[in-house]
Amino acid sequence: MTSTSEVLICDSSALVDGGEGIRFPVTVFGEAAVGFVVRFHGKPYAYLNRCAHVPMELDWVQGQFFESSGEFLMCATHGAVYRPETGVCAGGPCRGGRLRPIAVREDGGKVYWQPDERVGIPTNTSST
């Protein structure tokens, strides 16, 4: 059963382990932003689409968050790499940094995200 505060991102089948991620609209302190969800080792993980080094979107082509091995998320601009299961920087200019996690849950073949005190639901939910 889903909570009324959860927001549907996609069908579970849309996420392939180490494959393309799904972008979704969010707000950060009321400003328009983008979140993303990927699957890694069978579980979905969601983050704000902003590099910890410089606040730029990570994906080099829309939805492409993993580097070639499929083991790390990578910022296309700076080459910073992050562990998909924690968002912690694993190398590059983001040392000591981490991606901002977004609570995500998989249930009944669907993937949902949960707003919190910082990341909220946009008023206009057109696709990004």
Residue 28 lies inside a defined structural domain of this protein: yes
What pTM value is reported for the model? 0.91
Number of domains composing the chain? 1
Query: What are the C-alpha distances in Å from 1 to residues 15, 31, 43, 104, 121?
Result: 21, 30, 18, 14, 20
- Whole-angstrom Cα distance, residue 102 to residue 5? 13
Tens of pLDDT, residues 51-110 = 998 889 999 899 999 999 999 999 999 889 999 999 999 998 888 899 999 999 999 999
From CA 104, how far away is CA 85, in angstroms rounded?
12
**pLDDT the model gives residue 32:** 95
Q: Is residue 27 part of a domain?
A: yes
Going by their DSSP bridges, the two strands 43-48 and 31-40 should be labelled as antiparallel
pLDDT tens string 6-23: 999 999 999 999 999 999
Domain with 38, as residue range(s), is: 7-120
Does any domain span residue 1? no
SS3 content of the chain, % helix, strand, coil (to 5): 0, 40, 55
Is residue 127 situated within a structural domain?
no
Domain contains 128: no
Distances in whole angstroms, Cα of residue 97 to Cα of each of 54, 73, 86 = 10, 13, 11
In a domain, 71, yes or no: yes
CB atoms within 10 A of CB 116: 11
Question: Shortest CA distance to 60 belongs to which of 43, 86, 79, 84?
Answer: 79
The CATH number of whichever domain residue 66 belongs to comes to 2.102.10.10
